[in-house]
RNA sequence: GGCACCAUACCCAAGUGGUUAAGGGACGGGUUUGCAAAACCCAUAUGCGGCGGUUCGAAUCCGCCUGGUGCCUCCA
């Protein structure tokens, strides 16, 4: 039996207990990208947030049908293609490919289906025809408009009133708030034959058609960015409910918060402050970006300062802390019964044992309560601290294994639900070195040569020379750690003031 | 003008009616170390933008105010 969970529903503006339409199943539709350029960190948040949702629900035993679409026919694609003098569908195909590369690099779970507008034209035409037939839409010169006045509760998702909307030109529309379901073809644009002549879908209709095709007239959860609530999702609701005659289109609406820029800046290519996912992942492990997103609640605004890069360094340091704590625990041995070890190793052992045993229920409770990843991660750090504290005991390494077993089991939950701690510590640390050194333009062989010199100096207790070399490494942002089990080094990370 | 949302320590950030307000980072002190680093310990918000109100009790509910954000021409 799947475990129950709560989620905030944009439709009702409050948290609710999830009630599936079909027992044990979750149908989830998430608005994917309009593919005319590479995905940036803003898109990344939505990608990671819904990846986390899907992961966690699966981990909790739900049978999830996850639909994430590609909008590959759209005004902006056409405009970008015209500018580059390429075919619009070829352009979108290229960026679908690149989106998939980014998704894989981010470690996203694969959607159950990834429909495209260009492959859903029949469904779209059928839906538009149904809307015309039912009197919710009208045609004018080959363009079909949705009549917002035809739906009494138009605006119920976003709380907008048609009469209060600030609207531009009316054009051939009856009401300024009416929106295009089908657009008459212009020369050079991709188009398909329809009952209203050659044309292409409007912006919102594709999601209505694709969600209906893959999830049915009414489905469980619809997700997307907060900026899509109006008009995109509002219009989807209107189209779907009017076309099928069934209400609601989706029972729960989940919206992720947006990245916020410092002092009212907007992120934009023209401003030169767009961070592409692929550029970031060249310099940082993907889990660092994931941790950065998940350390705050998915609905909260999340600050991003493109100038500093501090947020990624901080996230990376946090991630390393978790990996290293887990590594410490994994290296502990011993085969005594846990109770005996706990009894003989004192309060820190007892505290860790208790925290470890409580962890699963507390972690899952946080996740089940509207996906509170911030709280869940806080628990993981609390566990890491208790673990490190226990590890300070002389006998912990030889005998501590049984005591840390529950904590290790706890860390294992971060993979299935959050997509974190999903690799071996050594692999992770190696990835950090490769990516950070590359980003800083530091040659690894230089570091290794300096480390070798320093080892020689230390072996003869030439401390002055050893410290001089360490200063030299420090200047390259390399931190040296002399440990009992050998010398290690790592990259100095930036920290917030 | 309309709709929606946000404001918790030096920074980031959980907590939405009831024990000492999670967690991460910075700063300071300590244990440890050849010295460091890492790790750990201690200290750090009688306080949750401001003012009222409801309540035995509020960061948490209500009202007003201040400041900020998103959307209302297609942006996750």
Q: Is the ipTM of this complex over 0.85?
A: yes
- The pLDDT, as a whole number, for residue A435 is 95
Residues 6+ apart with CB under 8 A from A378: none
The answer to whether residue A496 scores a pLDDT higher than 60 is no
The pLDDT > 70 percentage for chain A reads: 96
Q: Are A98 and A90 in contact (CB under 8 A)?
A: no
Q: Mind spelling out the 3-state secondary structure of A186-226?
A: CCCCCCECCCCCCEEECCCHHHHHHHHHHHCCCEEEEEEEH
Note the pLDDT tens digit of each residue in A99-150: 999 999 999 999 999 999 999 999 999 999 999 999 999 999 899 999 999 9
Q: How far apart are CA A128 and CA A46, in angstroms?
A: 29
DSSP class of residue A164 equals G
- Cis peptide bond N-terminal to A248, omega within 30: yes
Q: Considering only CA atoms, which of A420, A347, A337, A338 is closest in space to residue A379?
A: A420
Alpha helices in A369-395 (DSSP H): 373-391
Measured CA A362 to C1' B18 distance, in angstroms: 21
Protein-proximal positions, strand B, CB < 7 A: 1-6, 10-15, 22-26, 33-41, 68-76
Strand partners for A25: A63
Tell me the average pLDDT across A37-54: 94
Among candidates A411, A400, A404, which has minimal Cα distance to A360?
Answer: A411
Count how many Cα atoms sit within 13 Å of the Cα of residue A7 in the half-sphere of its side chain. Answer: 25
- Average pLDDT over every residue of A60-66: 98
CB-based burial of residue A119 (10 Å sphere; 0-12 exposed, 13-18 middle, 19+ buried)? exposed
CA of A386: nucleotide with nearest C1': B40
As a whole number of angstroms, the distance between CA A127 and CA A236 comes to 12
**Contact residues for A105 (Cβ-Cβ < 8 A; gap 6+):** A277, A278, A281, A286
The CATH architecture of the domain made up of A9-257 is: 3-Layer(aba) Sandwich (3.40)
Q: Which is it for strands A259-260 and A302-303: parallel, antiparallel or unpaired?
A: parallel
Q: Parallel, antiparallel, or unpaired for β A137-140 and A486-491?
A: unpaired
- Our measurement of CA A98 to C1' B16, in angstroms, reads 41
What is the pLDDT at residue A264? Answer: 57
Q: How far is CA A237 from CA A16, A165, A245, A255, A348, in A?
A: 20, 18, 11, 15, 55
Q: Which residue is nearest to nucleotide B39 (CA to C1')?
A: A388
Question: What are the residue boundaries of the structural domains of chain A, listed by start?
Answer: 9-257, 307-425, 442-491
Of A308, A316, A323, which Cα lies nearest the Cα of A291? A316
C1' of B47 to CA of A323 (Å): 34
| Nearest nt by C1' to A45 Cα | B76
Higher pLDDT, A433 or A492: A433
Q: Stretch A153-163: mean pLDDT, rounded?
A: 88
């Amino acid at each position: 039996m799947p475990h129950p969970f709560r989620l905030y529903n944009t439709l009702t503006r409050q948290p609710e207990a999830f009630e599936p339409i079909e027992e044990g199943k979750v149908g989830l539709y998430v608005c994917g990208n309009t593919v005319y350029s590479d995905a940036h960190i803003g898109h990344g948040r939505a990608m990671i947030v819904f990846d986390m949702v899907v992961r966690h629900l699966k981990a909790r035993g739900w049978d999830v049908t996850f639909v994430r679409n590609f909008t590959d026919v759209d005004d902006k694609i056409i405009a970008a293609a015209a500018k580059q003098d390429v075919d619009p569908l070829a352009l979108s195909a290229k960026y679908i490919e690149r989106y998939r590369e980014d998704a894989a690099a981010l470690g996203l779970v694969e959607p159950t289906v990834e429909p495209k507008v260009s492959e859903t034209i029949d469904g779209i035409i059928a839906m538009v025809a149904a809307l015309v037939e039912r009197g919710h839409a009208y045609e004018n010169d080959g363009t079909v408009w949705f009549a917002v006045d035809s739906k009494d509760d138009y605006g119920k998702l976003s709380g907008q009133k048609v009469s209060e909307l600030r609207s531009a030109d009316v054009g051939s529309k009856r009401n300024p708030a009416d929106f295009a379901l089908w657009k008459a073809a212009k020369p050079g644009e991709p188009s398909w034959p329809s009952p209203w002549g050659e044309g292409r879908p409007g912006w919102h209709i594709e999601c209505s058609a694709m969600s209906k095709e893959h999830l049915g007239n009414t489905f469980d959860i619809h997700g997307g960015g907060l900026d899509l609530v109006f008009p995109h999702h509002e219009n989807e609701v209107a189209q779907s409910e009017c076309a099928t005659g069934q209400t609601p289109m989706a029972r729960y609406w989940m919206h992720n918060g947006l990245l916020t820029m410092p002092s009212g800046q907007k992120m934009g290519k023209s401003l030169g402050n767009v961070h592409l996912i692929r550029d970031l992942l060249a310099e940082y492990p993907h889990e660092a970006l994931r941790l950065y997103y998940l350390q705050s609640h998915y609905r909260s605004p999340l600050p991003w300062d493109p100038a500093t890069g501090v947020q990624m360094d901080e996230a990376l340091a946090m991630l390393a802390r978790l990996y290293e704590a887990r590594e410490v625990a994994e290296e502990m041995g011993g085969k005594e019964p846990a109770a005996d070890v706990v009894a003989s190793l004192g309060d820190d052992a007892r505290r860790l044992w208790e925290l470890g045993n409580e962890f699963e229920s507390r972690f899952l409770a946080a996740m089940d309560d509207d996906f509170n990843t911030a709280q869940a991660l806080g628990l993981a750090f609390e566990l890491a601290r208790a673990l490190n504290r226990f590890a300070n005991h002389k006998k912990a390494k030889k005998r501590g294994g049984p005591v840390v077993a529950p904590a290790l089991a706890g860390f294992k939950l971060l993979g299935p639900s959050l997509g974190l701690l999903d690799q071996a510590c050594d692999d992770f640390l190696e990835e950090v070195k490769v990516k950070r050194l590359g980003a800083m333009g530091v040659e690894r062989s230089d570091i290794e040569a300096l480390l070798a010199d320093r080892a020689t100096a230390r072996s003869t207790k030439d401390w002055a020379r050893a410290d001089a070399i360490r200063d030299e490494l420090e200047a390259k942002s390399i931190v040296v750690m002399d440990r009992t089990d050998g010398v290690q080094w790592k990259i100095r990370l930036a920290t917030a003031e």
